Amino acid sequence: MKALVIRSHREYRHVLKSIEDLMSAEISSPAGMRLDRLVGAVEAWEQRHYRLNQPS
Q: What is the model's pLDDT at position 50?
A: 86
Q: Is residue 21 part of a domain?
A: yes
Q: Is residue 55 part of a domain?
A: no
Q: Is residue 37 part of a domain?
A: yes
pLDDT, block means (10 residues), the chain with 56 residues: 88 97 95 96 94 73
Please tell me the distance from the alpha carbon of residue 21 to that of residue 24, in angstroms, as a whole number: 8
Do 22 and 38 contact (CB within 8 A), yes or no?
yes
Q: What is the model's pLDDT at position 56?
A: 66
Q: Is residue 43 part of a domain?
A: yes
Domain of residue 26 covers: 9-49
Q: How many domains does the chain have?
A: 1
pTM: 0.84
